[in-house]
Structure formats: structure tokens, C-alpha cells
Amino acid sequence: SREAIIVAREKRTQEQIEKVDKILEEVLNRGKLEKSLVETDQDLGEMAEQKLQLVKDTRGAYKLLQEAKTLFGEAKNTAAQIDKQKSKLEELKEVDQYISQMNKSYDKALEAENLLGVQVEKLRQIAGMHSMLEKGQEMIAALEKDPFVSLYYSEDRQKLIEDFKQFKQFVQENNLEEAEKNKSAYTNLESFFEKMKNEKLALAGSYSALSGKVLSKVKSFYKKDAESYLEKAKRLKEEVNRVYKRGPSPQPEPDENSDYSDSEDMDDDEETVVDDDTTDTTDEDKEADVKEDPKEEASDEEVLSEDDEKRVVEAEKTEVETKKPNNPEDLMLDKLDNLYNDAENHFKNEDYTDSIDKAREAIELAEKMLMLKKAVGDRGMQGQGYFSKDVKFIKYQIKAGDYLWKIAFRKSVYGKAYLWPLIWFANKELISNPHRIFPGTVLQVPIFSK
């Protein structure tokens, strides 16, 4: 029918125009361009060279988009003329005119999208490199203040800094090709930074053989490192509290019938799970119904002795008996607070290596919490297949005998049991009680790129 044709063509074209509008806005924002530069034909000769080409490329797409919008408006006017003649039974020439106008509008908007696509991808890569610049500058600042590096590795440090400056210049000029060629300057700096930290930590094993004077100097190295880690952990903890909007949370009433949850007091939605077996993390480990190759799974999991496994289970059990978590956010925030407080207490007691270890754990948890918060929000908007350069979600089907901490302990996941609340947070709509999980449930496990 005429009406169906008009509605379908208008909807398709309008969606394409709106899509290109959003892409254009992203290019302008990422490229830090004023919209007036692509709206007018003013002389661009005095602009910085790295923005000149972007302006020219974007201007072509912008003009195509404006033409598409003009044609779309003309088609809407034609549609109004058709509407006035809707009582006529004979064919109307305006219908063919309307279809032609809408098709031309759609084609121009599509052409604009193709032009902008190259620029968007380029700008996204540049944005990722700007993130590397920020991290690289933090590492350089730490290395320049480090007396251990200044004493033993000053020449190596200077060479790495010079290489990084060259990489930084290419990134700031939006010269993607040269920046890619010189990206090793960042990875080399990162490797050196880790090497310095590990070498200083290795000195801890030689404390007893050092003289009092040297011992004092080495201790000062660790103190500076511990201060640096504590400062970073504190900054990240404050950022996490801001992002997660932490406030006082109500404490659930303790369950007197069991350590974690009572099978007779389950939510209705939990009782509808097809597989009636559940995994209660207070019980002894059960025989798992493993679908994967057993050899594969064995290589993926750390092998725990019976005593070690009991110790981990008891640690989780004690935590929940002390405070039964109401939601994953509170549990993660509490874990972060505890790690930071431990690091601070070790520092006060001059146990600097222990302070560094706890601060590093706090930093890792905080960084993952920040990445996960953003990724879960983006996943909600873009669907279950969403992944980013920082976080991707892999499917994992719960088996009998599984615990969230055991999943987190896998080498292919985190290799650290205490990070299990991250899995709960990513699946909080499926899991009301993290200590009672159901075989057959498919989790979306967040995997972090670093």
C-alpha cells in the first residue's frame, strides 16, 4: 500500500541519518574539532597539520549528510502531498517521486557513514595510545624518583625515556602509522618498570646477609615503593567509591540454620532451576559433572592440597559468618577496604614488602572493579555479545562441586580466589546468594585484558 511504502522508506532513511549524525559527533569529539570547521569553507591554512586532514575528510562526510537531510525533508513534503490525495485510486506520480527522494537520501547518508568509518577507527586507535601515554608518564615519574634505579640503572632508564618521548610525539600528532612502528617504546618501558620492582622485591631474601648500613638503605627503597603503592591504592579506592556511589548498606539478618544459606529458604526463582542439584560452598567438594576434557581442566586449575582447600573454604566461611553480603557491590567494596587497611597497617609497622603486596592486591581489585562497572553498563546497552579492549565476557556453565572462588582461581580466569565477587557482580541477576549456586546455570565471566 502507499502508506506502508511511505512509512518503511521514511523509517529506514531516518535511522541511517541519525546513525551518521552520531558517528560524526564521535569524530568531532575524538578529534577535538569545532563543528564550525566542517560547516563552513573558511581557510584552514593556519590550523595544526595533524587536524587539517581530519577536517577535510570530515567535511566531505558532513556535506553528504546535509544533502541527505535536505532530500529527506523534500521527501517528507512529497509525502504530505500524497496524503492530501489519498482518496484517489489512480497511481500518483508523487509516490515514485517520494521513493526516489528517500532512496537518494539514504544512499548519501550511507556514503557519509563509509567516509567517517575510516576516521572513527583511526581515532579509536589513537585514543587507546593516549591511554598508553598516560600510563607511561606515571611509570617514568616513578622511575625518576626511585633511588634504586638512579643508582644502578640510570643509563638504561634515560634511553627508555628518550624512546618513549618519540612515541609520545607521534601519538600527539595523530600519526598512527609511525606511532604503531614505535609502540615498542611503551612495552619496553613497561617491562623495565616491572623488572625494577621485581629486582627490589628479590632483595628481601638477602636481608640477613646485609650490613646494617646497606639494610637501612634497602629498607628506604622499599619504604618509597610502599608509599607510592599506598598512594595509588588510596586514589583508586576513592575513585571506586565515587563510581559505585558507596553509602551505608543494610545488613541482612543472620541465618541460624546454616553457614551460608538454607535449602529450605530459597527464592522462588531459584527453585525453578531445571537441575535440582546445587553447590553449597560450605560443603565438602563434590564429584564434578565435567563436560570438558579432564586433562584440559586439570591444566587450567591450581592443584590444592586437602589442607589448602580447607583453609580457603574456611576463610570464605568465616567472612560470610562475620558479615553476610547483601549485594556484590558491598562485598567488593569491603574487600577493597580490608586490603587497603592491611597495606596501611603493614606500612605503619614498617613491614614494607607486606604493605606493597597488599597494596598491589588492592590496586588490582580496584582497577578491575572500575573496568567491570563500565563494561557491565555497556553490555547492558549493547547486548550479551559485548566485549571491549579491557573486558570480555566468556560463558561458563556451573558444574556440581563448583564455587565462585574456585572458578576465579582458574588460571584462565584470574588465578586468584579472592577476586570471585567480580563474577557475582557480573551475574547478580542470576545469583541471589553467591554461596549457593546451581549446576547448569550459565554465567558470564568477565575476563580482563591485563
CA–CA distance, 369 with 374 (Å, rounded to integer): 9
Q: What is the pLDDT of residue 9?
A: 84
Predicted confidence at residue 229, as pLDDT, reads 94
- For 89, counting Cβ atoms within 10 Å of its Cβ (0-12 exposed, 13-18 middle, 19+ buried), the class is exposed
277 and 176 within one domain: no
Which residue, 203, 227, 243, sits at the end of a domain?
203
Buried b (16+ CB within 10 A) or exposed e, 138-166: ebbebbeebebbeeebeeebeebbebbee
| 193 within domain boundaries | yes
Whether 166 shows a pLDDT value over 60: the answer reads: yes
Measured in whole angstroms, how far is the alpha carbon of residue 287 from the centre of its chain? Answer: 35
Whether 331 and 195 share a structural domain: no
Q: Which residues, in sequence order, are CB contacts of 437 under 8 Å at separation 6+?
A: 278, 279, 281, 398, 402, 403, 404, 431
Instruction: Report yes or no on 339 lying in a domain.
Output: yes
Q: Give the span between the Cα atoms of 115 and 118, in whole angstroms.
A: 6
Q: Are 316 and 408 in contact (CB under 8 A)?
A: no
How many other CB atoms sit within 10 Å of the CB of residue 215? 15
Same domain membership, residue 280 and residue 178: no
User: Would you say residue 318 has pLDDT above 70?
Assistant: no
pLDDT band at 50 (very low <50, low <70, confident <90, very high): very low
Q: Indicate if 2 and 121 belong to the same structural domain.
A: yes
Residues 197 and 272 grouped into a single domain = no
Contact 422, 393 (CB under 8 A): no
Neighbouring C-beta atoms of residue 300, cutoff 10 Å: 13
Q: What is the pLDDT at residue 305?
A: 55
Amino acid 387: pLDDT:
58
pLDDT at 212 over 60: no
Per the domain annotation, does 246 fall within a domain?
no
pLDDT of residue 80: 87
Phi, psi dihedral angles at 75 (to 5 degrees): -65, -40
Stretch among 273-277, 302-306, 369-373 having the lowest mean pLDDT: 273-277
> 387, 393 in Cβ contact below 8 A?
yes
Same domain (yes/no): 6, 103:
yes
Would you say residue 388 has pLDDT above 50? yes
Examine the domain organization and report whether 198 and 286 are in the same domain.
no
Is residue 448 exposed (0-12), middle (13-18) or buried (19+ Cβ within 10 Å)? middle
Mean pLDDT of 65-75: 90
Q: How far is CA 299 from CA 7, 313, 401, 450, in A?
A: 58, 22, 18, 21
pLDDT interval class at 290 (50, 70, 90): very low
- The C-alpha atoms of residue 180 and residue 10 are separated, in whole angstroms, by 43
Query: Which of 38-47, 53-62, 212-221 has the lowest average pLDDT?
Result: 38-47
Instruction: Tell which of 157, 182, 203 closes a domain.
Output: 203
| Alpha-helix residue ranges (DSSP H) falling in 32-92 | 36-39, 49-84
Residue 444, strand partner residues: 395
Domain final residue, candidates 175, 203, 231: 203
Q: Is residue 79 part of a domain?
A: yes
Name 446's bridge partners. Answer: 393
Q: Does residue 249 lie within any of the structural domains?
A: no
Residue 95 domain flag: yes
**The pLDDT value given to residue 301:** 54
242 CB neighbour count, 10 Å cutoff: 10
Question: In whole angstroms, what is the distance from residue 207 CA to residue 164 CA?
Answer: 35
Same domain as 153, residue 277: no
Specify the pLDDT at position 443.
Answer: 95
Pair (179, 299) in one structural domain: no
CB 379 within 8 A of CB 393: yes
**What per-residue confidence (pLDDT) applies to 400?**
92
- Are residues 140 and 289 located together in one domain of the fold? no
pTM of the complete model: 0.42
Write down the mean pLDDT value for the chain: 76
- The predicted model gives 331-359 an average pLDDT of 94
Higher pLDDT, 8 or 357: 357
Inter-residue contact 125 to 178 (CB < 8 Å): no
Residue 239 CA to residue 245 CA, distance in Å, equals: 10
Tell me how many domains the chain contains: 2
pLDDT grade, residue 190 (50/70/90)?
A: very high
- Categorize the per-residue pLDDT at 435 as very low, low, confident or very high, splitting at 50, 70 and 90: confident
pLDDT band at 293 (very low <50, low <70, confident <90, very high): very low
Per-residue pLDDT tens digits for 94-112: 888 888 998 999 998 888 8
Give me the mean pLDDT over the 64-78 stretch. Answer: 90
Whether 219 is covered by a domain: the verdict is no
| Residue 422 scores a pLDDT above 90 | yes
What domain range is 176 assigned to?
1-203
Closest CA relative to residue 149, chosen from 96, 196, 218: 196
Same-domain status, 285 and 182: no
- Read off the pLDDT of each residue in 157-177 and give the average, rounded to a whole number: 90
Whether 145 and 21 have beta carbons less than 8 Å apart is answered as no
With a cut of 80, say whether residue 46 has pLDDT above it. no
The verdict on 107 and 27 lying in the same domain is yes
Residue 336 clears pLDDT 90, i.e. is over it? yes
Is 242 inside a domain boundary? no
Reported as a pLDDT band with limits 50, 70 and 90, residue 279 is very low
Contact 370, 240 (CB under 8 A): yes
pLDDT of 25 strictly over 50: yes
pLDDT at 272 (0 to 100): 30
Max avg pLDDT among 25-29, 51-55, 270-274, 377-381: 25-29
